[in-house]
Structure formats: C-alpha cells, structure tokens
Amino acid sequence: MDIINKKIFLISLSIILLFTKLYSSENTITIIDGDTIKINSISYRFSGIDAPEIKQTCKKNEEVIYCGIIAKDKLVKKIGSNIPICVQESIDRYNRIIAECFVKNKSLSKYLVRNGYAFAYRKYSEKFILDEDYARINQLGFWQTKFQYPWHYRKKNN
C-alpha cells in the first residue's frame, strides 16, 4: 500500500470510527423534576416554564396530591425512550443550561404548560403564556386543583 492510499485508508477509518462512536454512544437521561433534565453529565433547566417542586403538593377535591411527582411523571412519559434535543439559551446561577428541549421536534415545555403540568414563568419569558391560558381556560392538569405557583412555594419553603 503506497503512502497516499495508506493516508486515505487511515482518514476513512477515522471517519468511520468517529461516526460509529457518535451514533452508538450511550446517552443517559435523568429526569430531575418537571422542568429539569440531565443528559449524560449536562443539566438542562427548561426555559420559560416552572413546574412544581418534587415535594410540592396540591389539593384536588380536598385530597392532597403530589403535584411535583405528577409533573415529573408526565415528563418521563412524554420523553419515553427518546433523548431530547436541547437548544441552549443561557446558563443559570446553578450552572445549568437554560434551554428549550424537544422530542420528535415537539417542545417539552409547551407540552407541559399547555396540558397544565407546568406554568409560564413570566418573570423570565412570555413564550408560553398562551399555552398556560389554554390550560387554565380548559381546566387541564393542575388547573383542576388548588395549587401554589412553584416560585411562591420555593420562596416560602427554602
């Protein structure tokens, strides 16, 4: 094998190995709560929304329900076995990437807010206000309960 063919072979082999690694690498996803996920070692906080904290409860027909766990479960089911694609917008004070994340080109944030399992975080964004209005008007998700907005819950409980 002459030197040119050897270089072409090595470059081709390197490209094949690179693509094999990219497509066969194991990505792990951890759902932290209703608005935070971790893909491999990178934390993503969903931009423009706020979901109930894991320990947060609501009342539905005078019965206590675990809104934080419900929000997380809805996100787990929506993601399924998919690895979300996240588009970074900024980084927060906890070093999490603030991003909008998608599964099958559908926004996870929009899904959660429009179905009443998270709220438009108006302090930081107006992007999901219409989705929240839709959920509220149609009494979806937590809009069927007596709840405390997550930002009020955190202020009171942290």
Please state the domain extents for the chain: 27-148
Q: Average of pLDDT values for 23-40?
A: 87
Report the pLDDT value the prediction gives residue 96, as an integer from 0 to 100: 86
Q: Average of pLDDT values for 88-113?
A: 95
Residue 55 has pLDDT above 60, yes or no: yes
Report the pLDDT value the prediction gives residue 158, as an integer from 0 to 100: 80
Q: Average of pLDDT values for 138-146?
A: 98
Q: Which band of pLDDT confidence, cut at 50, 70 and 90, is reported for residue 95?
A: confident
* Distance between CA atoms of residues 76 and 158, nearest Å: 26
CATH architecture of 27-148: Beta Barrel (2.40)
Residue 145 has pLDDT above 50, yes or no: yes
Give the phi and the psi of residue 30 in degrees, each rounded to 5: -125, 125
* Its pTM surpasses 0.85: no
Range with the poorest average pLDDT among 3-7, 12-16, 30-34, 94-98: 12-16
The whole-chain average pLDDT of the chain stands at 88
Placement of tokens 């194991």 in the chain: 26
Q: How far apart are the first and last CA of the chain?
A: 68
Q: Which band of pLDDT confidence, cut at 50, 70 and 90, is reported for residue 19?
A: very low
Report the pLDDT value the prediction gives residue 23, as an integer from 0 to 100: 44
Q: Which band of pLDDT confidence, cut at 50, 70 and 90, is reported for residue 57?
A: very high
Residue 51 has pLDDT above 80, yes or no: yes
Report the pLDDT value the prediction gives residue 80, as an integer from 0 to 100: 95
Residue 79 has pLDDT above 60, yes or no: yes
